[in-house]
């Protein structure tokens, strides 16, 4: 067997996958918001139809969200949905 090589993560899985740092930052934010929205749906025992009503979107959009189809949601859209869910998303800039 070959020797396994372990590479330390950069802290952003999207950078580790080869995305440019600026794109990886947006992807990480989108991923985090989607995960938090899925948790919100689960924690509130919402059906997809119920979540759609709460968010003001179609059930098929909720389905895309629950299935993790990140390419179908802009960061702006996810921020709006998170706000409608009562979450308080914030953008922080670190030096």
- Domain 13-84, what fold? 434 Repressor (Amino-terminal Domain) (1.10.260)
Task: Give tens-digit pLDDT for 52-85.
Answer: 999 999 999 999 999 999 889 999 999 999 999 9
User: What pLDDT is stored for residue 95 in this prediction?
Assistant: 66
Write down the domain spans for the chain. 13-84
Instruction: State the Rg of the chain over Cα.
Output: 16
Main-chain dihedrals φ then ψ at residue 10, nearest 5 degrees? -80, -15
Tokens of 15: 């950078």
Other Cβ atoms less than 10 A from the Cβ of 79: the count is 17
- The Cα 19–Cα 30 span in angstroms is 14
Task: Give tens-digit pLDDT for 14-56.
Answer: 889 899 999 999 999 999 999 999 999 999 999 999 999 999 9
- The Cα 12–Cα 52 span in angstroms is 30
Q: Which residues of 39-64 are buried (b: 16+ CB within 10 A; e: fewer)?
A: ebbeeeebebeebbebbebeeebbeb
Specify whether the CB–CB gap between 64 and 77 falls below 8 A: no
């Amino acid at each position: 067997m070959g020797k396994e090589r372990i590479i330390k993560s950069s802290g952003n899985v999207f950078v580790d996958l080869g995305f440019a740092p600026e794109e990886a930052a947006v992807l990480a934010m989108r991923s985090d918001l989607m995960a938090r929205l899925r948790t919100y749906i689960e924690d509130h025992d919402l059906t997809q139809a119920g979540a759609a009503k709460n968010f003001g979107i179609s059930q098929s959009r909720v389905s895309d969200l629950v299935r993790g189809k990140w390419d179908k949601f802009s960061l702006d859209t996810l921020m709006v949905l998170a706000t409608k869910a009562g979450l308080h998303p914030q953008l922080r800039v670190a030096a």
